[in-house]
Amino acid sequence: NGFELKEGRFRLDVRKKFFTVKVVRRWHTLPREAVAAPSLEGFKARLDGALGNLV
């Protein structure tokens, strides 16, 4: 989506289940339009649209 977050590498499997790691993986699947929203309200609206298409 153009706004990449780095996902760390960990030796322990338990770390893979942390909230922050899961968020980074989800962030990379979001469409560019949602991520590049100019405001928080715009991001929320575009996120709702993107997630609505998944269900």
Q: What is the pLDDT of residue 45?
A: 94
Confidence grade of residue 14 (pLDDT, cut at 50, 70, 90):
low
Q: What is the pLDDT of residue 30?
A: 87
Q: State the Cα–Cα distance between residues 36 and 3, nearest whole angstrom.
A: 8
Q: What is the pLDDT of residue 22?
A: 79
Q: Is the dihedral of CA 15, 17, 23, 28 positive or negative?
A: positive
Confidence grade of residue 55 (pLDDT, cut at 50, 70, 90):
low
**pLDDT mean over 46-51:** 89
- 17-48 residues labelled b (16+ CB within 10 A) or e (exposed): eeeeeeeeeeeeebeeebbeeeeeeebeebbe
- Six token digits for residue 31: 């469409």
Q: Is the pTM of this model over 0.85?
A: no
